[in-house]
Amino acid sequence: MSAIHVETTGVGPPLVLLHGWAMHGGLFASLVPRLARRFRVHQVDLPGHGHSAALDAPTLDAVVDAIDAKFRDSTQPLSVLGWSLGGTVALRWARLQPGRVARLILVGTTPRFVAGPDWPHAMAPEVLARFGDELAVACRLTLQRFLTLQIQGGDAGRRALGVLREQIFARGEPNPVALGASLAIFAAADLREDARRVDAPACLIAGACDRLTPPAASAWLAQAMPDARFVEIPGAAHAPFLSHPVAFDAALDGCLHAS
């Protein structure tokens, strides 16, 4: 395993793709051919995922720093597309390195994954804690259940679930310890104040039926961020780029070419 594994395709301004929990950069394979005609596309494996090594002390800021180190020599500012956990990483990256991240496309992204008295747009803390407990006992079964949750509520889930099941073990067995550390990042993250201070233009894309990161969370981000807009994809759940590719491509085009 390399420290941070990145696959690069295409020519043009840089576009970084950050995947969600338990997955890897290969999940974006269906997007790359079209994007690579206009961008130099970088598919990143997050630390402890895919071909990237786990971090010794995995925190959200450590993840951001490890990824940022791969792009510090870039002569152009970056557009960053982050999905789910990747969206959390992208949002924090833009806050910590505003000169590096010039545009954000946040898909199925929330500033806070767990619900609280002042944040209803999330899962209950005990649900996330149960995932951690089950992960330590039966990693594969827990991951398969998580994939099913990602498509629940949508109207084209079978297509998305097939891709997710095909990809999740495509780069080897995920490391349960690294996945548990990423769950801890989920549990601790609260980027609501960060969102208000990110000046990079942003586009929030959400599935209308997403039960993991409800669209209300993306809508909140779009209102809180200084320069952001919100696109909701009807009928889609947590992975709209897999379940509703035509609608997602149209939304993504609007995000990438917005002034």
* Catalytic residue positions, numbered: 84, 210, 238
User: Going along the chain, which residue ranges are E strands?
Assistant: 6-9, 14-18, 40-44, 78-83, 101-107, 202-207, 228-233
Find the length of the chain.
259
Beta partners for residue 15, in sequence order? 41, 79
* CA dihedral (114, 96, 54, 36) positive or negative: positive
The four Cα atoms 167, 147, 28, 50 give a dihedral, to 10 degrees, of -50
Q: For residue 20, give the DSSP letter.
A: -
Contacts for 104 with CB less than 8 Å, ≥ 6 apart: 79, 80, 81, 82, 90, 91, 94, 198, 200, 201, 202, 203
Tokens of 51: 């071909």
Distance CA 211, CA 22 (A): 18
Contacts for 90 with CB less than 8 Å, ≥ 6 apart: 16, 18, 80, 81, 82, 101, 104, 106, 109
Q: For residue 113, give the DSSP letter.
A: S
Distance CA 44, CA 70 (A): 10
Alpha-carbon 247 to chain mean position: 18
